[in-house]
Structure 1
Amino acid sequence: MPTVPSEPQPHRHRDVAESFGADAERYDRARPGYPRELVDRIVAASPGPDVVDVGCGTGIATRQFAAAGCRVLGVEVDERMAELARRGGLDVEVSAFETWDPAGRTFDAVIAAQAWHWVDPLAGAAVAVRALRPGGRLAVFWNVFRAPDDIAAAFAAVYRRVVPDLPFKPWAGPAIDPYRSMFAKTADGMRAANAFGEPEEWWFDWSRPYTRDEWLEQVPTHGGHSRFPQSTQDELLAGIGTAIDAAGGGFTMGYDTVVVTAARSQLRSGRETAGG
């Protein structure tokens, strides 16, 4: 199920954005990481190893970039998520990114993994400009489900039956569709900052197998699920579990991981200098 609301400005849904910490340990266990090729490419395209991870959550991407040799500072709005990341040895500051103060520090990359849609794309790009050294890179990315057709159809039927009044219809169409407008808004925010080169999209295609239990562990971490009554959550999980059992007890989920990225200009533009 896509983890973004169908509303065109998901960053306005603060209640959803700050709901993931309700079960931070499950989130950390169940959510997938990101392709190693993605991490390597961002690191190689950045001028150095100092990284800010926006909306770092429990530190899933933070750990991957640290393992690649980066010094990573997390910025996370939810204290519960930040605390779990700190228990794992990560350095995290609690703040919404739009109001986060770099306090004179500059970095080689600002990344956001599965989180930039919770940030105002214009304000977020402006803060990234202040945090990046000349030549530094803003790189935000999302894992997008690409389910087998039979699994997607079975999951869609469960959601239609259990939560028929949802304003969007989970699994009813390609999961990439609601993300495309986010990619465009992200790129527009970078352009509006007047301090980046032309944004690019980098696509990474990968997959991983899931057992029934592994997928059911992940479902409650999807955006908005924690707001369902417990009885509704239980009915959803039972229906999804039955669908996976009918498919043989497991399936392979395809993923498109998409990066929207641009490098900060080497020199400040006149407009940027005038704006501070």
Structure 2
Amino acid sequence: MPTPRSGGAYPPADSPHLARSAAESFGADPERYDRTRPRYPDALVRRIAAGTPGSGALDILDVGAGTGITTRQFAAAGHTVLGVEIDERMAAWARRGGLNVETGAFETWDPAGRTFDAVVSGQSWHWIDPATGPAKAAGVLRPGGRLAVFWNVALPAPEVAEAFAAVYDRLLPGSLAARQWTAGPDAYVPVSARTADGIRDTGAFTEPEEWRYDWERVYTREEWLDQLPTSGLHSGFPPEVRERLPEEVGAAVDALGGSFVLRYAAVAVTAVRARRS
């Protein structure tokens, strides 16, 4: 999951929702973002839907819909999905693909009286205010509806982590971009904990649960370099680093044999809207 670095254009890592300029940077190349960003395990999509009251198709709100990656997965499973996205460039890309996406910050978005069976958010909830977001979700969920927010967390093998950490440490010594590769499997725990606390503090949900689905994919050199600019950290790098990065990362992948396996954990924090008395 993207975690903003300290200093510069980013606030401290415990308040990424304040980095609106970072949150709105992904729309610079929506086609690349949509093409290269990983999807989520079908088992997670099925479990969210199965754990949400309703018969057949559900009405789902996708927060931080981006180019519609999550929206399409739930729509393909037979559900009706409305997306909310702060970046008009991303939203426009999704709409060109036939998706229903409204533009605005979720915290101030007007649902116009609409309610939903589920509120979901893929790779986006850390950009949402941790207090306002869960309260807003509770307000648009039908009684018994489910809030499910989730991220793909990279879990690189030691040799992959060391190779990439060495590149970023040469170019950006001591930076989060370097440390993220050696942070280990618990790197996502603070974000999950903050998310659960925000949900819990509303008093409107059942006790949050954490679900995890492990999966993996093989990246070729070309595929990895193609997705490199979509990182939440990339836009904040100095221009000379952005220029050198593809060559150095490409060389690292070449040294790994021209491709590598990257393990992911799809981690979801989820809770059910308490039924109103």
| TM-score bucket (shorter structure) | over 0.9
In structure 1, how many angstroms separate the alpha carbons of the residues matched to 2:198 and 2:4? 19
Matched, 1:132 2:141: yes
Out of 16, 19, 30, the position equivalent to 1:10 is 16
With structure 1 as the length reference, what TM-score do the two structures score? Answer: 0.93
1:102/1:130 contact within 8 Å kept = no
Corresponding letter in the other structure for 2:188: Y
CA shift, 1:172, in A, is 4.2
Deviation digits for residues 140-162 of structure 1 (CA, Å, limit 9, x no counterpart): 00000011111110100000111
RMSD between aligned alpha carbons?
1.3
Counterpart of 1:86 in structure 2 is 95
Out of 34, 45, 49, the position equivalent to 1:39 is 45
Matched, 1:227 2:236: yes
CA shift, 1:171, in A, is 3.7
**Which runs of 5 or more residues in structure 2 are unaligned?**
6-12
In structure 1, how many angstroms separate the alpha carbons of the residues matched to 2:187 and 2:213? 18
Out of 248, 257, 270, the position equivalent to 2:257 is 248
In structure 1, how many angstroms separate the alpha carbons of the residues matched to 2:247 and 2:186? 27
Query: Could you say what secondary structure the match of 1:121 adopts?
Result: coil
Corresponding letter in the other structure for 1:151: V
- CA distance 1:175–1:100, shift in 2 (3 Å): farther
1:36-75 alignment, distance < 5 Å: 36-48=42-54, 49-75=58-84
Q: How many residues align?
A: 267
Matched, 1:261 2:261: no
CA shift, 1:164, in A, is 1.9
Counterpart of 2:28 in structure 1 is 22
Percentage identity across paired residues of the two chains: 57
With structure 2 as the length reference, what TM-score do the two structures score? Answer: 0.93
CA shift, 1:67, in A, is 0.2
Query: Could you say what secondary structure the match of 2:45 adopts?
Result: helix
CA shift, 1:224, in A, is 2.2
Residues 38-47 or 162-171, more deviating: 162-171
1:155/1:171 contact within 8 Å kept = no
Matched, 1:156 2:162: no
In structure 2, how many angstroms separate the alpha carbons of the residues matched to 1:62 and 1:234? 33
Counterpart of 2:132 in structure 1 is 123
Query: Could you say what secondary structure the match of 1:135 adopts?
Result: strand
In structure 2, how many angstroms separate the alpha carbons of the residues matched to 1:62 and 1:175? 30
Counterpart of 1:215 in structure 2 is 224
